[in-house]
A and B are shown apart, each in its own frame.
Chain A
Amino acid sequence: MNWFKVITLTAALTANTAFAEVAVIVHPSNAATLDQAEITRLFTGRGATFNNGNKATPLNLSESAAARADFDSKVLGKSSSQMKAYWSKLVFTGKGTPPKELNSDAEMKAAVAADANAIGYIDAAAVDATVKVVAKF
């Protein structure tokens, strides 16, 4: 009986991990292509343009949103605390400003759909036609 519980729990956890995919999204008119290195560059303040030369405005989810920790770990390869330490160094030395933060997938979708320069991310399950997916992690 206990074994059965463990197996069910393991299956549930595995399934959960597999389903919680993060979709990196841009405005539907944005024709730029992006790989993980370029997305990392934009979200760490080391670059400010897409590969087609257009200005890029990265938008982050706040730490209360589920996809934030997934994005930090899967795409940027850091924990959310490591990213906070990274940005504190830049903010308090005048070398950079972290991306603006939005509270939910819905707010993120609306912001990206309204700005041709924006790049953000949401839970892949929340994607609809108002935004364009450039990568999934």
Chain B
Amino acid sequence: MKKLLLATAVAAICSYPVQAEVDISGFASVMGGKLTSGSGVALFGLEPTFLANYPTVGVYEEDWTFKPDSKFGLQMTAELTEGLTATAQLVGRGADDFDAGFEWAYLSYVLNEHWTLQAGKKRLPLYYYSDFFDVSYAYLWIRPPADNYTWQIFNYTGVNAQFNYQLSDWSVSGNIYTGREDDAENKLLSEFFGTEPVREIWKDIVGGVLSLNRDWLDLRLTYMTYQNERYSGGQRVFWDGEDSRRGNFAGLSVNIDYNNWLLLSEVNRLALDGDDFDTYLLSAGYRIQQFTPYVSYADFDSDGEKHNTTSLGVRWDFHNSAAFKFQFDDVNDKGIGSNQVAGDSKAITMGVDLVF
């Protein structure tokens, strides 16, 4: 009996290095671009600017820059024992001067064939592309349309339960999550929309995603509710005399990939303390062997802030693990006075996305 135990233990130890193997994978984008024209916002003293990425404040100006959309990501996954894995993802973005940080760090446990539990730091899966926003190789454009992906918080720390079922011809998957995010110095609010350091807190986050896939059709429903607290320059921010406010986010996405045609769409609403912030996007592409030319329109509409972007571009899968992309963006900022964001702008961006 003891011998058997010993033998089992030895076998377990011997096989341990194999089981604890760390898988390393990664992604990278090297993108350069510049404005071809832009109005800027005289009221803020803002020079002509194309705000390509709201949360990380990725901006293109009149000179060529490689910062806004370039990034490197490294993912390490360690399988600890059957069903338990630890994953960390280090991401360095040009918009942050390639100052790399852990964007994801979580433990994952496969409960059964259908359910997996995760705990730790993850990306907040609000919009369709939110949780793989940095992995540009995985989608059509240079970046998900900026008018939709405007929210200042994009991570959370908490727990997540994800599921996967098959119902006749439909694949049904999704997740339920809860957690919070306390961003000591929020980049978008501190640097772009304000002049003082802003601490942004999203707490009591509860959300869910439901995806339905069948053949060429992909449907996604998303909902999330959270409580917002904020400190500006160390002072608590009050909204109508209250020190916190509730936000409710809901979205629907319909994507079609049929006979080389790609149709991508998303419509979302954030109701924040009685105000509605509506966003949608519509993109169409047609695959001609390695080339996929596309057009896209995205819109943001609220009581004050209103803007849209029309984009034209092409994705060229010139290599099995890399794609070259070229995109032209035309931003129309319809906000009046202080409701402007960055004014009108036209810009070109090009470069390479890859995964390894």
Please pick, from A49, A86, A92, the residue contacting B73 in the complex, using a CB distance under 8 A: A92
User: When the two chains form their complex, are residues A85 and B169 in contact, meaning their CB atoms are under 8 A apart?
Assistant: no
Q: Is B8 engaged at the interface, CB distance under 8 Å to the other chain?
A: no
The stretch from A15-23, A24-32, A40-48 touching chain B is A40-48
Q: What number of B residues sit within 8 Å (CB to CB) of A?
A: 35
Q: How far is the CA of A89 from the CA of B128 in the complex (A)?
A: 11
Q: How far is the CA of A81 from the CA of B213 in the complex (A)?
A: 20
User: When the two chains form their complex, are residues A47 and B138 in contact, meaning their CB atoms are under 8 A apart?
Assistant: no
Contact flag A84-B108 (CB < 8 Å), given A89-B138, A94-B87:
no
Q: How far is the CA of A46 from the CA of B168 in the complex (A)?
A: 12
User: When the two chains form their complex, are residues A88 and B355 in contact, meaning their CB atoms are under 8 A apart?
Assistant: yes
Q: Is A63 engaged at the interface, CB distance under 8 Å to the other chain?
A: yes
Q: How far is the CA of A79 from the CA of B89 in the complex (A)?
A: 27
Complex interface residues of chain A between 74 and 90 (CB less than 8 A to chain B): 79-81, 84-86, 88-89
Q: Is B131 engaged at the interface, CB distance under 8 Å to the other chain?
A: yes
A residues contacting B by CB (< 8 A) are 37, 41, 46-49, 63, 79-81, 84-86, 88-89, 91-95, 97
A sample of 25 cross-chain residue pairs with beta-carbon separation below 8 angstroms, ordered by A number, consists of A46-B164, A46-B171, A48-B113, A81-B320, A84-B321, A84-B355, A85-B137, A85-B138, A86-B138, A88-B27, A88-B132, A88-B135, A88-B137, A88-B138, A88-B355, A92-B75, A92-B132, A92-B138, A93-B123, A93-B125, A93-B131, A93-B132, A94-B106, A94-B122, A95-B162
B residues contacting A by CB (< 8 A) are 25, 27, 73, 75, 77, 87, 89, 104, 106, 108, 113, 118, 122-123, 125, 131-132, 134-135, 137-139, 162, 164, 166, 169, 171, 173, 213, 290, 317, 320-321, 323, 355
